[in-house]
A = this chain, B = another copy of it.
Amino acid sequence: MLELTEFQYSLVYNAFSFVVAAMGAAFVFFLLSRREVSPAHRLALTLSTLVVAIAGYHYLRIFGNWADAFTETDAGSFIQTGFFNEGYRYADWLLTVPLLIAELVLLLALDSRKKWITIARLGGAAALMIALGYPGEVSDDTTTKWIFWGLAMIPFVYIVWALFSQLGRAIDALPTQARRAVRAMRTVLLVTWLVYPVAYLVPEMGFSDATAEVLRQVGYAVADVTAKPIYGVLLFVAAVALSRSEGYRGEVGPTDGDGEREKVLVANS
């Protein structure tokens, strides 16, 4: 039976609560900032808003489940007395990972038809990657874990290849500021997605059960905050830059915003 020190139990507990707060904050931010982005790029921002809403729901469930699954002993440690459901993560990823891919593709310099074909291909590969990871995640058998890990890596490598090689020109063709932000999104996607296959294999790395569980849960939490709210903010920066470069100045039109503000600043100086 899994036994955690109070420090270990609390670390995971607080990490989960932190993620709930981060997803909620990102949700409000994306809602409030919609009008900074031109209607042409608003769908990408909408998908970003959905991603943090979905993840916020799942982290609320995960947080409650963690608290329910453990009982404090007289000695002050925490033993697992109930089921901790990894299924929430997979349900979350099945919905959010294709959306994260779609957000990025929507910003690229591709025609509309090409975009939707790319989204279908890469989104499908992403869903396949998640579905192939699940049987290994829930298995205690080392061989099964490695087989499904290997299978899930095939669509993963395909997605990385598509983003870095095949779609490279559609990123290079963006205006400077948008290009930088989209490249940063791509890097975040690569780096954070690498956390998942590593966290998945933590039980195989010879740590104690308690250490392995804490590392996995905190690893997933850090990766989810980076891959969703932070990635979403980069998307927002890219979408605003693209909107500006296409002449969009917010819903209020040309008399609005920066121009007026500058005049006021000049008049005051």
User: Cβ of A88: which chain B residues have Cβ within 8 Å of it?
Assistant: 14, 17
Smallest Cβ distance from A58 to chain B, in angstroms?
7
Say yes or no: is A25 at the interface (Cβ < 8 Å to chain B).
yes
Report the interface size for chain A: residues with CB under 8 A from the other chain: 64
A24-B53, A39-B257 known; A18 vs B95 contact (CB < 8 Å): yes
C-alpha gap A223/B16 in the complex (Å): 25
For residue A214, give the distance in angstroms from its CB to the closest CB of chain B: 14
Chain B hits for A257, CB < 8 A: 38-40
Q: Kindly specify which of A29-37, A156-164, A189-197, A203-211 makes contact with the partner chain.
A: A29-37
- Complex CA–CA separation, A42 to B54 (angstroms): 25
Q: Which of A163-193 contact B (CB under 8 A)?
A: 173
| Cα distance A39–B49 in the bound complex, in angstroms | 21
Contact A53 B28 (CB under 8 A): yes
Q: Which of B17, B34, B265 contacts A109 (CB 8 A)?
A: B265
Once the chains bind, are A95 and B25 in contact (CB under 8 Å)? yes
Cα(A84)–Cα(B112), bound, Å:
47
A235-267 interface (Cβ within 8 A of B): 245-248, 250-252, 255-258, 260-261, 264-265
